[in-house]
Amino acid sequence: MAPKKLYIKTYGCQMNVYDSERMAEALPGYERTEDAAEADMVLLNTCHIREKAAEKVYSDLGRLRPLKDAKPDLKIGVAGCVAQAEGEEILTRMPLVDLVVGPQSYHRLPAMERAVQTGARAVDTEFPEEDKFEKLAARPKAKRGPTAFLTVQEGCDKFCAFCVVPYTRGAEVSRPAERIEAEARGLVEAGVREVTLLGQNVNAWHGEAGGLAALVRRLAAIDGLERIRYTTSHPNDMDEALIAAHGDEAKLMPYLHLPVQSGSDRVLKAMNRKHTAEDYLRLVERIRTARPDILLTSDFIVGFPGETDAEFEETLSLVREVGYGSAFSFKYSPRPGTPAAERKGQVAPEVMDERLSRLQALLTEGQRAAQEAMVGKVTHVLFEKPGRMPGQMIGKSDHLFAVHAEAPQELAGQIRPVRITASAPNSLAGALVA
């Protein structure tokens, strides 16, 4: 019997990319397709972080209605954080949906799929006591690309006033080190050379003594694993051992995403970030002392309730002082159920637009400077795939810059020195060093 086809649309963060892979692996008898029209099952793996996330999902479900009408046996599921937040409401509003599964329950997908094949509708948005990773089948040994995500931690206990993660992903949970190592070894056997360790608050990982630094060193001992990264971190969990690892563990790349959100102490307190701008700046100093060439990126929210012009200027000042290689920036949007959503002093949309434009211009300036500083230097590039031009390969540098260079396709999965020759808006050009 030919395998059935599974189409997954992934919204949001890298953790959802990883989760989509694991959900596909959990469903026996299916192979993935990039064409929803030929699918036997469609899964929307959703994110609830950004504004109107639920409405976007409902809109996408509406666009699936003609497919369902033409193919009544098509099964449609909603997974991820919107599923967790909306639950049964999705089934009520969208009768075409067959199953709803939260991010902590997708190991139960096989049983849910069997149920919906009988005509039932299934919902599981619990926070189960069992470890979903322990219940999932071993990952297949099929050949993979040279980079992979690896979830090591889920959930968050920080309760930032703007964030829904503690409510949709639950409390902080760390996977045991031995299971992470086993999965990493399996990835290396399949061709992976670089792993990015994932967590909503990844540097709060506590699966063994020594924290994330100990895990990084443990994984660095795996032959064939050449590069390690991690995201997303919280400033308050950046301990001295992890800072030291950036300085003396060669496989830990000189790149760190360290969200700050604002440069104003009053706004940071209102956000419940539990650090000040000065705390953050002194942390950056310690990190750069350990690894002077590290490239820092961050997250920023403009227009948090009550943010004044002067407080926004403090954010711009912090950006100038740190000198980020890039950053994500967003206008504040109320997330239902979070403390900030109920606060007075919501900033006018036109004010947020103006502030975001100014912030993004400054961040773009910083990114351009960081990239132009690489011109003439030699960096090491992990080549991943052919480029758009004949004879060209694309890969990522130590600092996570996209780099394209003339190179044979046989270099896919290999790390080679490349001299950077030019900088474009979102990539670098280079030439192989003999």
Tens digits of pLDDT across the chain (434 residues):
678 999 999 998 888 899 999 999 999 899 999 999 999 999 999 987 766 777 889 999 999 999 999 999 999 999 988 888 888 899 999 999 999 999 888 889 999 999 999 999 999 888 776 677 877 777 777 789 999 999 999 999 999 999 988 888 888 999 999 999 999 999 999 999 999 999 999 999 999 999 999 999 999 999 999 999 999 999 999 999 999 999 999 999 999 999 999 999 999 999 999 999 999 999 999 999 999 999 999 999 999 999 999 999 999 999 999 999 999 999 999 888 899 988 888 999 999 999 999 999 999 999 999 999 999 999 999 999 999 889 999 999 999 999 999 999 999 999 999 999 999 998 999 999 98
pLDDT reported for residue 308: 98
Residue 312 is assigned to a ligand binding site? no
pLDDT at residue 165, as a whole number? 87
Measured distance CA(383)–CA(147) in Å, rounded: 10
CATH fold group of domain 378-432:
OB fold (Dihydrolipoamide Acetyltransferase, E2P) (2.40.50)
Confidence at residue 27, expressed as pLDDT on a 0 to 100 scale: 92
Residues 182, 18: Cα–Cα separation, whole Å: 16
Q: Which residues contact 264 (CB under 8 A, 6 or more apart)?
A: 277, 307, 311, 312, 314, 315
CATH number of 132-372: 3.80.30.20
CATH of segment(s) 4-124? 3.40.50.12160
Report the predicted TM-score, pTM, of the whole model to 2 decimal places. Answer: 0.87
Domains of the chain, by residue range, sit at 4-124, 132-372, 378-432
Instruction: Look up residue 7 and give its amino acid.
Output: Y
256 carries a ligand binding annotation = no
- State yes or no: 13 annotated in a binding site: yes
CA dist 330 and 106 (Å) reads 30
Q: Please report the pLDDT score of residue 85 as a whole number.
A: 85
Q: Which strand ranges, in their side-by-side order, compose the sheet holding 99-101?
A: 30-32, 4-10, 41-46, 75-79, 99-101, 122-124
Q: What is the per-residue pLDDT for 51?
A: 64
The answer to whether 160 is a known ligand-binding residue is yes
Bridge-based pairing of strands 427-432 and 415-424 is antiparallel
- ω into residue 232 within 30 of 0, thus cis? yes
Position 243 scores a pLDDT of 98
Nearest CA to 75 among 6, 125, 126?
6
